């Protein structure tokens, strides 16, 4: 849920499950500000948009999996959860994309059994500590102010790069300069996880 709170890094993470327009705007903003982020990609979406997956990889952003079908895991039998997670991971192998061992459950819904399946598949579940609620498409100012009030060292920020989040690129263009002014370094999940204390990796 968080990285090492003893350093000054925060991670911007984007969930992607449908659409192929807004994500290009977001990639342009990240490139404009010279920062790297982490994208959690839905497996079905990745199959339909391999060229965008490749574009994300070539821009040297981190890529993690967001399930295969974007359906909550909590209501599924465990064998179906494992099947869905395995299918998602297989997609990126077929696309020859070197994803990192990071996985985010659809809708963020997890429990101890799902953590156990993640261990079996050798992936690390990654949640978030701050969300901008960009999927609600409120005004840019209020979304930006929400992050400014809540973000601090080690935070993992949840954003969305699906077409439903129509204002995310504008919010991103506001919050990146703010984070830099606050002396917070924008890092990828791999950088936060590398520096995390071992006792911080496991939720109680």
Average pLDDT over residues 75-96: 94
CA-to-CA separations, 64 to 11, 93, 124, 142, in angstroms, rounded? 13, 12, 10, 29
- Could you tell me the two tokens for 110? 């997890």
Give the per-residue pLDDT at 195. Answer: 63
The answer to which of 59-63, 122-126, 138-142, 173-177 has the lowest mean pLDDT is: 138-142
Per-residue pLDDT at 184 exceeds 80: yes
pLDDT bin (cut points 50, 70, 90) of residue 59 is very high
- Range among 6-15, 40-49, 160-169 rated most confident: 40-49
pTM listed for this prediction: 0.92
Give the per-residue pLDDT at 137. Answer: 83
């Amino acid at each position: 849920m968080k990285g090492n709170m003893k350093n000054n890094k925060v991670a911007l993470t984007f969930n992607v499950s449908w659409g192929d327009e807004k994500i290009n705007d977001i990639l342009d903003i990240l490139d404009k500000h010279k920062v790297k982020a982490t994208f959690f990609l839905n497996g079905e979406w990745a199959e339909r948009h391999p060229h965008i997956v490749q574009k994300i990889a070539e821009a040297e952003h981190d890529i993690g999996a967001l399930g295969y079908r974007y359906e909550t895991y909590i209501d599924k039998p465990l064998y179906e959860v494992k099947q869905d997670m395995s299918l998602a991971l297989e997609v990126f192998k077929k696309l020859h994309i070197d994803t990192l061992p990071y996985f985010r459950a659809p809708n963020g819904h997890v429990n101890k059994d799902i953590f156990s399946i993640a261990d079996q598949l050798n992936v690390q579940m990654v949640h978030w500590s701050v969300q901008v609620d960009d999927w609600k498409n409120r005004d840019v100012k209020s979304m930006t102010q929400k992050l400014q009030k809540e973000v601090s060292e080690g935070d993992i920020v949840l954003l969305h790069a699906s077409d439903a989040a129509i204002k995310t690129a504008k919010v991103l263009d506001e919050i990146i300069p703010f984070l830099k002014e606050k002396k917070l370094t924008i890092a990828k999940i791999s950088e936060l996880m590398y520096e995390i204390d071992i006792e911080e990796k496991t939720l109680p």
